[in-house]
Structure 1
């Protein structure tokens, strides 16, 4: 039910281990070569004393010579072993490159479709198809328009989805896609028992998404040794005046094209207002669009200068093109029938700190008739997958869930602060509506409410 890439059990890390082992053996070979050279020098130095006691002198010279010969034999065996390890690494890399090529041919060559399953290969999924098509679309369009190699039709040298988003944002009438400042207009704080399991945190992201423009910051542990979890929801297309919700379509553009610069700044301010101190450990959780913003925190220099981001958890998020800073662990849940994770046209890298889990559970036919982005994108399905991840004995998943648990602990009572965020409205005359006035929340209080404490 799970396909797993990356982590300590991933192929890339195994390749790294092979090369690290070969390098360590190289070090031993160099040390043995030095011992061999020193032993030969000792043997030659004994020649001058041979005539003082011919029997004992000859015996000493022979003993040192035999010892040097034994060292030389071990060194040569290790050199052969190093060569074999490096050859093994090359053969594995060649095999993986060939497999990747065959898989891509199977996805993009319609003639291979009916025969694909006969070779025992995994089926071509909706997620894979979208990823491949999006990944090749800029190059195809550039070729059609006769642009130079390395240029994209929409975004110039940036390339890929990032370049396409920036190119669209520069087009007349699409200025609303450009980032605008995101501010905090209100917050609520209370205490509650929090489920910090992988599934529990993802379900919190779904709950936060029911209120437009909100994020949550969870404070865990005792003062002085606190850790924090930032929960960011998915895309929201209604509920607020046009363009003011940071998680609308413009939020997708900001995340994929502009590294979530404004949203990341708002998250940093929210952590400070919640009580986080410089250097505190942080985990970020995001669903769909929220996962893009969560991953972008991992390469935001200002955010990393203030806080120690240790882990990122995403579900149904296109984050293959986001490379976080070293040492930040991440776990990505995707479903093979969910096209959204493939929308950036790039697979998630296979590294030691980054684990991608593809859920393969079947989806009943009637569910495909429902509204939304498809049943593969449903949060309930991802929450079920998260429970399977925790129960798995796979080494990559065990290490990844342990890394998350090291930040959030065992759960219990947490301080929950829910922040309301708003994007600055478009100026009149630039394609945006008039700036909205105060909005009444469902509870009857203004949208820019002040802090409310709930015991």
Structure 2
């Protein structure tokens, strides 16, 4: 008795989204739908190649059939049988080719339908409506409305490089364009470092609290070879205009591909001792995550350093595409509107994983909520711990790349650098006013 076919055998293949992993909603990576579809499309391409091979065999069978024709007169019965057998083989080859073409076309049609469906489904996320729905029971209505209106409005100018530049290059904003950034070494220390994603984000939180435009470069000894981590803080609004991570820095990151910050990061790496070709991991929160991702598309930076991995937390990076082969993990939270502020969904690819934290978070009574508890860095550090404990195949693969660069930790060299932006025209020192000439006669008459 033959084995029965499995349920669904012969049906068109259907990609399936990964199941939620506790409070983590995971999209992308090797377990993501897009990669499944990429594999299906790759299979469809192989089917097309097989069809071409079968057509070659069919052509060869036709040639054999033609060459058998003269022999029919010497042995009619056997000659006819041979010709008929070859003709049936050609017919069967044609039938198989038609079926393979139909399967290939079905896979491609499924891919097209999925892409269109995803585009429609992404609209609530792009407009921030999903955050509005999911945060409804968390914040007071006024804060919800404010944040989500900001999310709705921000894409109109942040979603396009040209629009951002058009705003920042207005004559009314003479100091908003990127200005040269200098790098100053602040200090260097030897520390015992745990190179986990969670601890990296906690170090980044302490760096951000300094509020002075500093970045941190860490040198790891990974099995006898040097590897590096760069920590880039988020927006530091209450700082001098010379701090490249102030509010103006958002414009440079989104509109100018971090054209001044990226070279400064490269200089910091060189001054810390990084050599050409050394592997690098970049970690950034909020605005810092945008700068970190821009490292992965800057050809000058990539020609010198081997950027392997980018970790972002609460960063609007959907519009940034890094070079092929650079892995990235993006942590977002349903109560954090900032990741959606560029109006773009993060691409769902083999090397790019987006993890949305769905747990409910609150601001401790008496604390300043800032732009909301979902954007808090400790919240993202806790999420990174859940990522490390997950058995999801996309997260396992992504975490393995991160660990492969930084190693197991231990003694590491930590160097802090201060980045400083050149003063703008409005902040430049103004010429001194001419001295006032006193009228001594008048003075004497009034005493």
Q: Same-fold call, TM > 0.5?
A: yes
Deviation per residue, 1:306-341 (Å, 9 max, x gap): 111121111111222222222222111111112222
**What TM-score, normalized to structure 2?**
0.79
Post-superposition, which runs of at least 4 consecutive aligned residues in structure 1 deviate over 6 A? 102-106, 124-128
| Alignment correspondent of 1:70 | 92
Separation of aligned partners in 2, 1:53 and 1:126: 92
Distance 1:17 1:222, change over 3 A: closer
Deviation per residue, 1:72-95 (Å, 9 max, x gap): 332232223223323322333343
Distance 1:8 1:367, change over 3 A: farther
Report how many aligned residue pairs link the two structures: 399
Counterpart secondary structure, 1:398: helix
Alignment of 1:153-168 (within 5 A): 160=159, 162-168=161-167
Q: CA deviation at 1:70?
A: 3.4
Counterpart secondary structure, 2:312: strand
Deviation per residue, 1:110-165 (Å, 9 max, x gap): 9xx89x99xxxxxx999776433322x45xxxxxxxxxxxxxxxxxxxx7464454
CA contact (8 A) 1:127 1:342 kept: no
2:151 aligned residue (131, 143, 147): 131
| Alignment correspondent of 2:191 | 192
Deviation per residue, 1:417-440 (Å, 9 max, x gap): 2222222223xxx210549xxxxx
| Alignment correspondent of 1:219 | 219
Counterpart secondary structure, 1:42: helix
| Alignment correspondent of 2:18 | none
| Alignment correspondent of 2:319 | 321
Q: Gaps (5+ residues) in structure 1?
A: 118-123, 139-158, 436-455
Separation of aligned partners in 2, 1:405 and 1:222: 10
1:17 aligned residue (39, 48, 57): 39
CA contact (8 A) 2:222 2:408 kept: no
Separation of aligned partners in 2, 1:51 and 1:368: 104
CA contact (8 A) 2:207 2:233 kept: yes
Separation of aligned partners in 2, 1:172 and 1:355: 40
CA contact (8 A) 2:126 2:345 kept: no
Separation of aligned partners in 2, 1:386 and 1:129: 29
Q: CA deviation at 1:264?
A: 0.8
Alignment of 1:371-410 (within 5 A): 371-410=369-408
| Alignment correspondent of 2:427 | 432
Counterpart secondary structure, 1:218: strand
Q: Gaps (5+ residues) in structure 2?
A: 1-22, 138-143, 431-447
> Do residues 249 (structure 1) and 244 (structure 2) align?
no
Counterpart secondary structure, 1:221: strand
Q: Which has the larger radius of gyration?
A: 2
Separation of aligned partners in 2, 1:128 and 1:13: 31
**What TM-score, normalized to structure 1?**
0.78
Counterpart secondary structure, 2:311: strand
Separation of aligned partners in 2, 1:104 and 1:219: 37
| Alignment correspondent of 1:181 | 180
Q: Root-mean-square deviation (CA), in Å?
A: 3.2
